[in-house]
Structure 1
């Protein structure tokens, strides 16, 4: 059985947390203070992650879906645990819709949406079939590419003379209220709360005692990187930043050095594809493994094709257009009704119950 190495765990956690956020930009509602909102979300996200790690330590050797039956009993715990694989399937459907909209509106204009989504799903299915070994190798491979591309982008933007420090000012123009709206609940849950999915894989790491250190480090670094993207976009666009759907993609189109280095939007598409793929594969693998463990099946691989078919159906039918997908489904449905209960409320209740049971013993 493959065990995840220390570097692999860090790589997949870091890229998973970058997810689709780096292309959509973070916290447009906070305007010029978006980057501050991301840093505050990251600091609070560390506390959320620490709750998950405390649960892992209180339930040694058990995965996320096994915590609930172990603490609440099978009658209550099993139905609650089933919510997590279903959540992961829904999230994969959302990422497929993200890819469908982004690729069709930026690169492949005339390609049928089902082809774009279908190819993406086939790649997900192939990676999930390979199990945690393929996922950890993907992370290992993607991490240096993402970091090198980020460094190149920063150097080229500074060389293109499109940045103006005045665009960051004034800070806190409308006070803390817009920043806090961005931070809670969507900022905390979007990248950092979703890390709970890794509780499906933490028992498979080579050095479980390093999980806390690595996950907190990945959380802080991904928060700083997303915040850096916001700062870059704000230095270029100023107050217009919140009006762009894909600020990073638009940002790359402005790079121009000596009429020679231009039109680097493909870097944005590559970023998006790599981080979205890794995030989808982690969620899909967590979903099928979760169902396997809850139903005592011998092998999760029989579930891969049906699960991918459901995710593809969700991705194609979830929303009619990108604005409905982002603004209505994400902010009005996913965050308050799925993420807050499953990523914040239930784990907190589970932590209290587990702690009380251990005190009683």
Structure 2
């Protein structure tokens, strides 16, 4: 049985939480107060993740999909648990659509969308077929690259003379309303609530007793990194930050030092591809492992091809353009009807039931 080291857990969680958030930006509707929205979302996200970690403590040795049958019984718990693998497949389909739109817009405008999506799904299939060992090593490999690129970007932007501190003012010009609209429900679920899917792998760490400390630390660090990206974008663009679909990509286009270092948008594309790949692979592997445990299958590998075919079909057909994909499917469907029930409501009910059962004993 493969065991995840503490460093691998840290790397997987950190990149998973960053996901596609830093490419699309966070809280654009809050304008120059988006960084405040992220800090509040991070704090509330920690509280939400503590609920998940308490559930892990109350169900020692069990994965996410095994919590529900244990607490609710087989007939109620199994259908509820099955919702999480289905959610994982849907999220992978969304990320495939993200890749389709980003790559076709920024890098390969003349390449057929099916080719872009198909190549990405093939890479996902290869990684998932290799299992948890491949996924954990992927996170281990990507983390230093992401941190180095982030450091280079900050240094180059500061050296380019494009940062304007006045763009942060006035703070809370429109009050707390726009900030809270970003925080709940999309803010706390987008980067932090999805961490629940990692509960499929928590029992397979080398030191399960350190999972809580590592996960909370990672959540705080990823929240600070997303806040840093928001601050950079606001310091440069001001209120215009909210009008860019890919603010990080646009941000990198402004780097110019001595007419020698400039147009570094490919760093943004590299960020996007690495984080999107790891997040897709984690979601897909968690989904297949969940189905395997619920059905009693010996291996998840038989499910890789059909599951990746479903993800490809979703990614290609789910939306006609990026506006429909982001604004309609994300904010009108995914957040209220999938993330809120599965990442907020059900875990809260499960914690209450688990606590009542322990208290009764």
TM-score scaled by length of structure 1: 1.00
* 1:46 alignment partner in structure 2: 46
* 1:246 alignment partner in structure 2: 246
* 1:143 alignment partner in structure 2: 143
Distance in 2 between the 1:341 and 1:47 partners? 17
Per-residue CA shift, 1:225-279, capped at 9, x if unaligned? Answer: 0010000000110010000000000000000000000110000000000000000
Distance in 2 between the 1:189 and 1:19 partners? 12
Distance in 2 between the 1:4 and 1:137 partners? 9
Distance in 1 between the 2:92 and 2:171 partners? 36
Q: Give the secondary structure class of the aligned counterpart of 1:359.
A: helix
Distance in 1 between the 2:288 and 2:234 partners? 40
Distance in 2 between the 1:224 and 1:301 partners? 37
Runs of 5+ unmatched residues, structure 1: none
Q: Give the secondary structure class of the aligned counterpart of 1:272.
A: helix
* 1:316 alignment partner in structure 2: 316
Distance in 1 between the 2:2 and 2:88 partners? 23
Per-residue CA shift, 1:89-141, capped at 9, x if unaligned? Answer: 00000000000000000000100000000000000000001111011100111
Distance in 2 between the 1:8 and 1:85 partners? 23
Q: Give the secondary structure class of the aligned counterpart of 1:173.
A: coil
Distance in 1 between the 2:182 and 2:239 partners? 16
**Paired residues for 1:180-329 under 5 Å:** 180-329=180-329
* 1:351 alignment partner in structure 2: 351
**Paired residues for 1:39-118 under 5 Å:** 39-118=39-118
Q: Give the secondary structure class of the aligned counterpart of 1:44.
A: helix
Distance in 1 between the 2:313 and 2:163 partners? 42
Per-residue CA shift, 1:76-95, capped at 9, x if unaligned? Answer: 00000000000000000000
Distance in 1 between the 2:169 and 2:332 partners? 30
Q: Give the secondary structure class of the aligned counterpart of 1:348.
A: helix
* 2:28 alignment partner in structure 1: 28
Q: Give the secondary structure class of the aligned counterpart of 2:104.
A: helix
Q: Give the secondary structure class of the aligned counterpart of 1:26.
A: coil
* 2:176 alignment partner in structure 1: 176
Per-residue CA shift, 1:2-40, capped at 9, x if unaligned? Answer: 100000000000000000001000000000000110010
Which segments of structure 1 move beyond 2 Å, counting only runs of 4 or more?
Answer: none
* 2:4 alignment partner in structure 1: 4
Q: Give the secondary structure class of the aligned counterpart of 2:3.
A: coil
Per-residue CA shift, 1:179-206, capped at 9, x if unaligned? Answer: 0000000000001000000110001000
Runs of 5+ unmatched residues, structure 2: none
Distance in 2 between the 1:98 and 1:6 partners? 30
Distance in 1 between the 2:291 and 2:337 partners? 22
Distance in 2 between the 1:129 and 1:48 partners? 31
Q: Give the secondary structure class of the aligned counterpart of 1:171.
A: coil
Distance in 1 between the 2:59 and 2:225 partners? 32
Distance in 2 between the 1:76 and 1:195 partners? 24
- Tell me by how many angstroms 1:289 deviates: 0.5
Distance in 1 between the 2:2 and 2:76 partners? 32
* 2:134 alignment partner in structure 1: 134
Distance in 2 between the 1:162 and 1:360 partners? 62
Q: Give the secondary structure class of the aligned counterpart of 2:206.
A: coil
Distance in 1 between the 2:279 and 2:88 partners? 10
Distance in 2 between the 1:89 and 1:37 partners? 29
Distance in 2 between the 1:27 and 1:166 partners? 20
Per-residue CA shift, 1:142-189, capped at 9, x if unaligned? Answer: 000000000000000011111100011111000000000000000000
